[in-house]
């Protein structure tokens, strides 16, 4: 007999628990949460144990919302907030979200020591009728404000959507038996279009939904949904590990074909995904496919539901989700899925770094239970061992000074997210210690991404959080640096940090066109070089390369420092598996070229004695 509580059962239980002074007006589904609407939210804020007891009783996530009848105007809210915040804390923006009754205050001079007390929160809720969140104000408000505009404009639609999602999640299970299978739709024995379908008796869930942005053939550009036998509206939800296009790029097209379900991810992943999708509309169109429309990108944002790390959340009647830090880029998540009543547990690494970087903490590994691990193999070859960062930094600094002393320029083609921020932090360290004095040009899209990093400072490494403690310090904008937009280089030496990393498109192509014939200048790659790209030809020593249809005879210096990668190397992947060894029954290798996936699978099998597979796209595996 199935013992799961139905939605009506636990709602009645909550109603019977609360006294009249709680001001409870109604209970609604809010996606994977149960929202309690109250005319007296201060009661719950000052009696937080009541919510804790309810959560323990009904085993569901509960959140307090203010009843619409008590919500004051935006001007009144701003006036009240200024009186509550400490003197010297300047409010830059107030972002209202009427769908959930929350206000995000973006403030300057926000320090790590400051957090709003329960007393202040209660005062604000009582006087304004809104719940307040406080965040560090970014240097560039563009992306954050655009997303807020979308959320406000589509607030009524989101309220209906949240209710529909909750009704599907909290319905009774139809079958007590647990069966779990995986269908590999992309990203296996290849890099790009990451997508895995997880199926149970009750659910169909996607792990990522990306594109191969270097393919112009639809059979290798997009996930192979044609092999599943499912309609798009049969998919219950998408779990997005992070914002990179090889994991997120097909989401707008999913909505084009009728998907209307939730996308679960960490909070920083929402603005970063929006930034990358908008930035790459032209790229997708250049591959001879109809790129995403603004409406489709808005659909993605409207259906994203942010979840914090380390919180267990029901996402279907028989699957519970927990996200954990992956250490790859801001907001990147390792996904833990708990099936049925603990019948099986799956961890999907996504892209992860099991080693400290300047920007982020080490990837999380200590899951209580995990029987199956899907792990990436981007650097799965035996030769893929990273050098200590100190050695790499010294070599990089010597190269920079060599070029600058001769009057040359340095171009760093980088992705918008991840390695660009790591490189900027490194250059910032050089500049602040007096080892670098050159002008640094940072392309606008990278500046926008770095600004989002600062807003979510709680997700950064401890060292960077301490550096950012105070609004005047900007670790992602080194001394003598400027934000530029496809700039024409003037006289003098420059360091240029610009996308794209493979020189297939974007501003870096234009900058290369200005320095390719200058033997005093250099192109410096800091990421893994993918085959069949202009970058690959240059790193392999080719002098004549075709870029955007134009043949260039490259005379500038070409260097590669892959040690700035935000992926785990061969040794780090094996160490990660070792940490879970006692719990694992099966390892499935993905996200790597065929040779690297095969090598890593063989090594895990041989060294750790764990059954390991490296399946192909279109294959399937039954777990339970």
Q: At how many degrees (to 10) do helices 269-279 and 444-455 cross?
A: 170
Examine residue 448 and state whether it is found in any structural domain, yes or no.
Answer: yes
What would the mean pLDDT of 553-582 be, rounded to a whole number? 95
Domain-terminating residue out of 153, 188, 223: 153
pLDDT at 394 over 90: yes
Q: Chain-centre distance of CA 342, in angstroms? A: 27
The CA distance from 84 to 619, in Å, is 58
Burial of 620 (0-12, 13-18, 19+ CB in 10 A): middle
Q: What CATH number corresponds to the domain at position 610? A: 3.60.15.10
Domain count, the chain: 4
User: Which tens digit of pLDDT belongs to each residue from 465-488?
Assistant: 887 765 555 778 888 899 998 778
Residue 202 inside a domain? The answer is yes
Residue 162 forms part of a structural domain: no
pLDDT of 50: 86
Of residues 26, 308, 219, 274, the one with CA closest to residue 617: 219
DSSP string of 223-250? --GGGT---GGG--EEE---SSHHHHTT
User: Hey, which residues does 198 pair with through a beta bridge?
Assistant: 182, 205
**Edge-to-edge strand ranges of the sheet holding 131-136:** 91-97, 102-107, 131-136
- 């299970």: which residue's tokens? 173
Residues 400-419 pLDDT 10s: 999 999 999 999 999 999 99
pLDDT of residue 466: 81
Neighbour-count burial of 556, counting CB atoms closer than 10 A to its CB (0-12 exposed, 13-18 middle, 19+ buried):
buried
Here the CATH number for the domain that contains residue 40 is 3.30.300.230
Q: Are residues 334 and 378 in the same domain?
A: yes
Give the mean pLDDT of 127-140: 91
The mean pLDDT value for 611-623 works out to 98
> Is the CB of residue 364 less than 8 Å from the CB of residue 325?
yes
CB 280 within 8 A of CB 240: no
Place of tokens 């989700």: 321
Which sign, positive or negative, has the C-alpha torsion 249, 252, 253, 259? positive
Q: Is residue 495 predicted with pLDDT exceeding 60?
A: yes
Same domain, 316 and 194: yes
Q: Which element (helix H / strand E) includes 167?
A: helix 155-169
Residues spanned by the domain of 577: 180-382+567-615
Least confident of 294-303, 345-354, 469-478, 608-617: 469-478
Together in a domain, 450 and 410:
yes
247-274: b or e for each residue (b if 16 or more CB lie within 10 Å)?
bbbbbbbbbbeebebbbbbbbbbbbbbb
Residue listed under structure tokens 């560039």: 140
What pLDDT does residue 472 have? 53
On the question of pLDDT at 248 being above 50, the answer is: yes
- Summarize pLDDT for 258-291 with one digit per residue, the tens: 999 999 999 999 999 999 999 888 777 766 577 8
Both 377 and 408 in one domain: the answer is no
Q: Is residue 446 part of a domain?
A: yes
- Looking at the structure, do residues 276 and 396 belong to the same domain, yes or no? no
Last residue of a domain, one of 69, 94, 116: 69
Query: Which residues, 6+ apart, have CB-to-CB distance to 370 below 8 Å?
Result: 336, 345, 346, 347, 580, 583, 584
Q: Is 171 inside any structural domain?
A: no
Q: Give the whole-angstrom CA distance, residue 138 versus residue 143.
A: 10
Asked if 272 and 350 sit in the same domain, the reply is: yes
| Cα distances (Å, whole numbers) of residue 464 to 114, 204, 351, 421, 516 | 17, 39, 22, 12, 35
Q: Are residues 429 and 308 in the same domain?
A: no
Q: Pick from 47, 69, 91: which residue ends a domain?
A: 69
Average pLDDT over residues 130-147: 92
Q: Residue 2: its pLDDT value, please?
A: 37
> 333: closest CA among 270, 427, 393?
270
Q: What is the mean pLDDT of the chain?
A: 91
Position 165 in a domain = no
Considering the domain architecture, whether residues 546 and 516 belong to the same structural domain is answered as yes
Same domain, 459 and 547: yes
CB environment 53-85: b (16+ within 10 A), e (fewer):
ebeeebebbbebbbbeebbeeeeebeebbeebb
pLDDT at 117 over 80: no
Token reading at 499: 């996308």
- Residue 236, token pair as written in the block: 């219950």
Residues contacting 504, CB < 8 A, separation 6+: 213, 214, 283, 533, 534, 535
Task: Specify the 3-state DSSP secondary structure of 61.
Answer: strand
**Over pLDDT 90: what percentage of the chain?**
73
Dihedrals φ, ψ of 45, to 5°? -65, -40
| CATH code where residue 447 lies | 3.40.50.10890
419 Cβ contact partners less than 8 Å away, ≥ 6 residues apart: 501, 526, 527, 564, 565, 566
Name, of 106-115, 156-165, 210-219, 476-485, the range with top average pLDDT.
Answer: 156-165
Banded model confidence at residue 1, pLDDT cuts 50, 70, 90:
very low
Residue 158 has pLDDT above 90, yes or no: yes
pLDDT at site 17:
79
Least confident interval from 116-125, 541-550, 592-601: 116-125
Predicted confidence at residue 470, as pLDDT, reads: 57
pLDDT given for residue 610 in this prediction: 97
312 neighbors 282 (Cβ within 8 angstroms): no
Q: Residue 558, SS3?
A: strand
- 624 falls within a domain: no
pLDDT per residue over 200-246, tens digit each?
A: 999 999 999 999 988 888 899 999 999 999 999 999 999 999 999 99
CA distance 369 to 603: 23
Could you tell me if 133 and 233 lie in one domain?
Answer: no
Element (H, E) at 599: helix 594-608
Mean pLDDT value of segment 87-105: 91
| Residue 164 domain flag | no
The helix (run of H) or strand (run of E) holding residue 197 is strand 195-200
The residue-averaged pLDDT of 589-595 equals 96
pLDDT at residue number 288: 57
Using an 8 Å Cβ cutoff, are 137 and 161 in contact?
no
Query: Are residues 281 and 354 part of one domain?
Result: yes
Q: Is the pLDDT of residue 170 over 90?
A: yes
How far apart, in whole angstroms, are the C-alpha atoms of residue 601 and residue 616?
13
84 and 132 share one domain: yes
């Amino acid at each position: 007999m199935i013992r799961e509580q139905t939605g009506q059962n636990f709602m009645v239980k909550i109603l019977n628990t609360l006294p009249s002074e709680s001001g409870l007006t109604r209970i609604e589904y809010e996606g994977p949460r149960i929202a309690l609407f109250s005319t007296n939210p201060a009661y719950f804020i000052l009696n937080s144990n009541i919510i804790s007891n309810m959560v323990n009783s009904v085993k569901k996530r509960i959140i307090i919302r203010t009843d619409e009848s008590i919500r004051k105007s935006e001007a009144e809210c701003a006036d009240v907030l200024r009186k509550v915040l400490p003197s010297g804390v300047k409010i830059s923006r107030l972002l209202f979200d009427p769908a959930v009754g929350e206000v995000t205050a973006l403030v300057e001079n926000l320090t790590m020591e400051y957090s709003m007390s329960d007393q202040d929160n209660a005062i604000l809720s009582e006087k304004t009728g809104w719940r307040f969140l406080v965040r560090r104000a970014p240097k560039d408000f563009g992306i954050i404000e655009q997303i807020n505009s979308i959320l406000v404009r589509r607030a009524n639609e989101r309220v209906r959507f949240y209710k529909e999602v909750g009704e599907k999640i909290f319905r009774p299970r139809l079958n007590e038996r647990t069966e779990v299978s995986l269908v590999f739709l992309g990203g296996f024995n290849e890099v790009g279009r990451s997508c895995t379908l997880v199926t149970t008796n009750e659910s169909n869930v996607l792990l990522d939904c990306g594109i191969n942005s270097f393919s112009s053939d639809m059979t290798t550009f997009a996930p192979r949904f044609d092999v599943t036998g499912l309609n798009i509206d049969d998919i219950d939800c998408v779990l997005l590990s992070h914002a990179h296009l090889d994991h997120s790029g097909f989401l707008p097209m999913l909505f084009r074909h009728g998907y209307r379900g939730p996308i679960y991810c960490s909070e920083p992943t929402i603005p970063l995904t929006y930034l990358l999708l908008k930035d790459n509309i032209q790229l997708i169109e250049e591959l001879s496919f109809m790129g995403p429309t603004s409406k489709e990108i808005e659909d993605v944002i409207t259906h994203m539901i942010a979840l914090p790390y380390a919180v267990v959340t029901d996402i279907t009647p028989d699957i519970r989700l927990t996200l954990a830090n992956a250490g790859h880029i801001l907001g990147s998540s390792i996904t833990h899925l708990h099936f049925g009543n603990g019948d099986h547990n799956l961890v999907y690494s996504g892209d992860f770094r099991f080693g400290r970087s300047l920007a982020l903490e080490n990837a999380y590994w200590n899951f209580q239970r995990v029987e199956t691990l899907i792990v990436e193999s981007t650097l799965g070859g035996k030769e893929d061992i990273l050098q200590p960062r100190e050695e790499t930094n010294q070599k990089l600094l010597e190269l920079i000074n060599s070029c600058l002393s001769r009057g040359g320029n340095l171009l760093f083609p980088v992705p918008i997210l991840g390695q660009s921020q790591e490189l900027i932090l490194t250059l910032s360290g050089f500049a602040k210690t007096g080892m670098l004095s050159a002008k640094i040009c940072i392309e606008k899209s990278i500046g926008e991404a770095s600004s989002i990093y600062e807003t979510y400072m709680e997700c950064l490494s401890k060292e960077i959080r301490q550096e950012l403690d105070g609004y005047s310090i900007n670790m992602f904008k080194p001394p003598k640096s400027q934000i530029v937009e496809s700039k024409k280089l003037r006289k003098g030496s420059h360091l240029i940090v610009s996308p794209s990393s493979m020189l297939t498109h974007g501003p870096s192509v234009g900058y290369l066109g200005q320095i390719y014939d200058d033997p005093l200048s250099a192109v410096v790659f800091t990421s893994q070089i993918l085959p069949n790209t202009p970058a690959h030809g240059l790193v392999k020593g080719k002098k004549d390369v075709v870029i955007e249809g134009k043949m260039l005879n490259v005379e500038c210096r070409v260097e590669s420092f892959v040690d700035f990668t935000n992926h785990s190397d061969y040794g780090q992947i094996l160490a990660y598996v070792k940490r879970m060894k006692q719990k694992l029954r099966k390892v499935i290798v993905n996200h790597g070229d065929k040779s690297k996936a095969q090598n890593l699978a063989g090594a895990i099998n041989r060294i750790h004695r764990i059954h390991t597979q490296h399946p192909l796209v279109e294959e399937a595996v039954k777990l339970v």
